Amino acid sequence: MLPKWFNDWNEKNPTNVFGPGIIVGVVGGAVFVAAMIVAWGQPFATTSLQTGPRGTGMSVPEFKSDLLTPDPTIEEYYTDTPIVPEGGEPLAKDIYDNVQVLGDLTEDNFNRVMLAITQWVSPEQGCAYCHGDGDLETYGEDNLYTKVVSRRMIQMTQVINEEWDGHVNANAQVGVNCSTCHRGQNVPSEIWFKNTPVKDTNMAGWGAVQNRATSTSGSTSLPSDHLEKLLVEYGQINVHDLESRVAGSPADEGYQTWQNTERTYALMNYFSNSLGVNCNFCHNSRAFYDTAQVTPQWATASLGIAMVQELNNEYLIPLRDTYPEERLGPVHADAPKAACATCHKGYQKPYQGMNAIADWPELATTGVPVYE
């Protein structure tokens, strides 16, 4: 019943009975794996995202399996269709007390937006999270810090969509709403506070802000004050110099030290982890320093940096005295601040590019919303 070649081989090699079995097993296994790949598809198949001009090889590989895996928070995203005004309806500011934002909305759309904000920010606590446990007559009061903060956050959201269109709608209309950051949580994930010094010893000087891995520095030993220096204090984001030795002293005004370089590297690590991309998403690997050879995403990211700097300084940090003590930073008692990961959550685009303002024109402008 066995093949002739098999019997002949055994007669000539009576002591080696495993050789043919191994050969048959390897060949059979290879055939089986090939059949499974054809039938079920390549489990590690990749595609390529072009990031630069054609013919330059500037691209980023992406696993198809990752692209097909949806952001798990999308399933819980709440939305509702706008109610197009017919004209002449009474406005929220004329019906309710102390309506300082969204007052130009009709009553139906005002309540629709309020319900959405509740679902996005406080689905468990409901309206009481901002308005307290009183009846409707008390909803105009500003007794809770959550309401004061929410009002400012609505204004911030409108400004992002209106004034930072070049970042949030760079390739397609995406925009942001409250859920972009909150995802059903009272406090958004990926906010940050000042955490320096992070030293384990009595080391002084530069060692006091580095050498201990933190999540904000991408779990590296790079400095942990980079978000503070670069996304709040408008520090210059660049490397020390392309030359190994540069005349000058850190005491000289405008002199870029190697500490600044390390902060830049820490920020770049943070960017990569926040968006789930690598360096070549924005930079040309042959000339990281040359802004004439960067990708279009570099310009979008640059706008994002400027946007975050404004949001932190104009909207978030000024709320410091509004928050209760337990909402402030554990080291410096500072206000919570935002950065790239606060919106992106590890994806190139928040909510994987879902249009967050399609049903919410009220949050897309500081003026009267346009309903289509």
240 is in an annotated binding site: no
- Per DSSP, 192 falls in state B
Query: In three state form, how does the secondary structure of 265-303 look?
Result: HHHHHHHHHHHCCCHHHCCCCCCCCCCCCCCHHHHHHHH
Q: How many residues does the chain have?
A: 372
Strands (E), 102-212: none
127 is in an annotated binding site: yes
Q: How many helices (H) and strands (E) does the chain have?
A: 13, 2
- Per DSSP, 27 falls in state H
178 is in an annotated binding site: yes
Number of Cβ within a 10 Å radius of residue 245? 5
343 is in an annotated binding site: yes
Burial class (CB in 10 A: 0-12, 13-18, 19+), 212: middle
131 is in an annotated binding site: yes
Number of Cβ within a 10 Å radius of residue 46? 14
* CA-based end-to-end distance of the chain: 77
Q: State the number of CA atoms in the 13 A half-sphere of 133 facing the CB.
A: 0
344 is in an annotated binding site: yes
114 is in an annotated binding site: yes
Could you tell me which residues are annotated as the binding site for heme?
114, 127, 130-131, 153, 167, 178, 181-182, 268, 279, 282-283, 340, 343-344
Could you tell me which residues are annotated as the binding site?
114, 127, 130-131, 153, 167, 178, 181-182, 268, 279, 282-283, 340, 343-344
